[in-house]
A and B are shown apart, each in its own frame.
Chain A
Amino acid sequence: MNNRQKRAAASFLRYAVLALVAVVMIAPIVWIAISSLRPPEEIFLYSPQLSWRTFVPEKIIWSNYEMLLASDFPKAVLNTAFVAFVTVALGILICSAAGFAFAVFDFPFKNALFVVVIITFIMPFESIVVPLYIMVRGLNWNDTYFALIMPEVASGFIIFLFRQFFAKVSRELFEAARVDGASWWRIYWDVALPLSWPTVVAGALMMFIHQWDAFFWPLVAATSQDLTMVQVAIARYLQFEQADFGRLFAAMTVASLLAILPFMALQRYYIRTIIDSGFK
């Protein structure tokens, strides 16, 4: 084989592997979405025996989604959207401010404090779920939006990303604004924050997906029907209503798409922000 043939073979192999991996990653989600368009009695009719009908519905129906709309699921979606949006708004504000402070100012115990920030983002949320629940119950916050929102607002990871971004901006830019008589608040609000919009987008997306996907914390901290979040609602469909697979598949499709679509639209910023943040 000469060099060109070798390169062509390598390229073919590369795309073959990528195509295979892509199928493994996407097919499960596609199967769920397709099944959600089948009548409930057909969903598992063709799946035990492989045939083309396993992947192609006899006819497409929307009744699973109509049932889903009539259930308590839309309320769970609205609840989760509300929790996610408030978390994003508050979170971006206070995390960007903290990242700004770490990047721009010198102050006592700066390094020690930054180490604490990093520890909190490495520490998995699950490890403190029980004591956090005890504390939230002590505050009488259980079964409130406070319990769902407040613990997620200050995020070590988002602070870290903002700090990495602002650290790359020349300090002279901020100093110049300072000489012009701008207050630090104005510099942060009018100069730094608008400059960091890719990180704002990435951070907002991360926080949104984090709350949209939240399960363990809502499971223990907000048990009342009125506060049910999307993931908990779906897990309940499986546990208590085994028969109603049409609705389960429809709910899973909606929950997947509402996480995948915003990501697909904004992924450029997400990927760039992580790659630029200095994890190298």
Chain B
Amino acid sequence: MRINPAYYFLAPAVLGLTVFKLIPIGIAVVGSFYGTSLMGESVFRGIENYRSILSDPDLLSSLGITLLFNLIANPLQVVLSLAAALLVFRPGPLIGLFRSVLFVPVTLSLVLTALIWNLLFDPFLGPVNAILEAVGVGRQGFFKDEAQAMGSMVWLATWRGVGYWMLFMLAGLYAIPESLHEAAKIDGASWWQRFRHITLPLMRRPIGFVLVAATAINMLFFAPVYVITAGGPNGATDFIMFRIYQTAFNYIDVGRALAMSTVMLVVVLLVALVELRLLRSED
């Protein structure tokens, strides 16, 4: 029998994806039904891990915080990345430079982004407070203030995210036939009318893609929480992924951490299914 040559080309990648992406999902699901006894042995616990995490008020508040973050950050990133794409879409002097500049924060790691904004937003030493004081707004607590910590996280994620999503919005804008705009212009349509009736309807798919892809990333927001707030102040930034990290590596309650991971995987994969339909319906 002749083996289809496709398999030779696919084998290494499929092996890699299976071992490092799919098997871990299996480990998460199976391990979520186990716990560790006092003797350090693995024992079957059934759905006990799930029952305990779903009745844990701290964890539910963590989920609430993560959802709130997504409800603010994701629409904000969609709107701003579309606006940025519109600003740099038409050619003009220096536009290419602005496009690159908007993209620069994307190349920074989340850790660097977190460190930079933690320093800039420092209540006592940070230059942002110096500017705010000079213009008469007054000094703010930012990450150190329970009421402002979440907003500061949204700012940080958006600062870094907008340039990336802008690329996908640009891809969408390039796909809109120029003739549509020309025809509308001849009919005397204003900029807003053209945006509202041509651009926006035809951008539904990239907007949907960005919304869902941003959700998949922001549901598991971690590094800035680890670096800046460690969940504080007073639990204001106790994101779910930070809790999973603590449960697994500080409290060494692996079964529980895996149950939490599994719940989040299901959430993210549900989101992914929506995304997949968006990508597919396009071919």
Binding site for B on A (CB under 8 A): 10-11, 14-15, 17-18, 21-22, 24-26, 28-29, 31-32, 44, 47-50, 54, 93-95, 97-98, 100-102, 104-107, 110, 113, 115-120, 122-124, 126-135, 150-151, 153-154, 156, 159, 184-185, 188, 209, 212-216, 219-220, 231, 234-235, 238, 248, 252, 255-256, 259-260, 263-264, 267, 271, 274-280
Contact = CB atoms under 8 A, between A and B. Distances in A.
Given A25-B101, A50-B127, A130-B257, A274 B168 contact: yes
- What secondary structure prevails in chain B residues at the interface with A? helix
Contact of A127 (B5, B117, B254, B265): B265
A58 to B, nearest CB: 16
Contact of B175 (A25, A28, A113, A280): A280
Contact of B14 (A98, A118, A151): A98
Interface stretch (B43-51, B69-77, B218-226): B218-226
A47 B119 CA distance: 10
A126 B220 CA distance: 6
Contacts of A130: 28, 244, 248, 254, 257-258, 261
B107 A123 contact: no
Given A184-B5, A252-B115, A275-B174, A50 B130 contact: yes
B184 interface: no
A47 B125 contact: yes
Given A115-B276, A267-B100, A279 B125 contact: no
Contact of B216 (A17, A123, A135, A276): A123
A130 B4 CA distance: 36
Nearest to A223: B249
A106 B257 CA distance: 41
Interface in B109-144: 109-112, 115-120, 124-127, 129-131, 133-134
A106 B226 CA distance: 46
B115 A238 contact: yes
Given A124-B220, A128-B25, A135-B24, 6 more contacts: A17-B87, A28-B120, A98-B10, A118-B279, A209-B107, A231-B112
Given A22-B102, A25-B159, A97 B219 contact: no
- Among A25, A115, A150, A271, chain B packs the most CB atoms within 10 A around the CB of A25
B31 A119 contact: no
Nearest to A274: B167
B130 A274 contact: no
A126 B241 contact: yes
5 tightest Cβ-Cβ pairs between the two chains A and B: A154-B16, A213-B109, A98-B13, A105-B6, A280-B175
B25 to A, nearest CB: 6
Interface stretch (B55-63, B145-153, B267-275): B267-275
Contact of A128 (B13, B249, B265): B265
A28 B174 CA distance: 31
Given A126-B222, A128-B25, A25 B104 contact: yes
B83 to A, nearest CB: 9
A116 B17 contact: yes
The interface centre, meaning the residue of A97, A126, A134, A252 with most chain B CB atoms within 10 A of its CB, is A126
A132 B206 contact: no
B21 A123 contact: yes
B134 A256 contact: no
B116 A231 contact: no
B217 A94 contact: no
Interface in B241-283: 241, 244-245, 248-249, 254, 257-258, 261, 264-265, 268-269, 271-272, 275-276, 279, 282
Contacts of A102: 10
B249 A220 contact: yes
Interface string B221-247: 011001100000000000001001100
A28 B116 contact: yes
B180 interface: no
Given A25-B104, A213-B108, A234-B115, A107 B4 contact: yes
B220 A252 contact: no
Contacts of A116: 17, 22
B282 A128 contact: no
B181 interface: no
Given A28-B116, A220-B249, A49 B87 contact: no
A159 B21 CA distance: 14
Contacts of A10: 191
A124 B130 contact: no
Contact of A122 (B4, B8, B276): B276
A134 B115 contact: no
Given A94-B16, A123-B268, A274-B171, A188 B109 contact: no
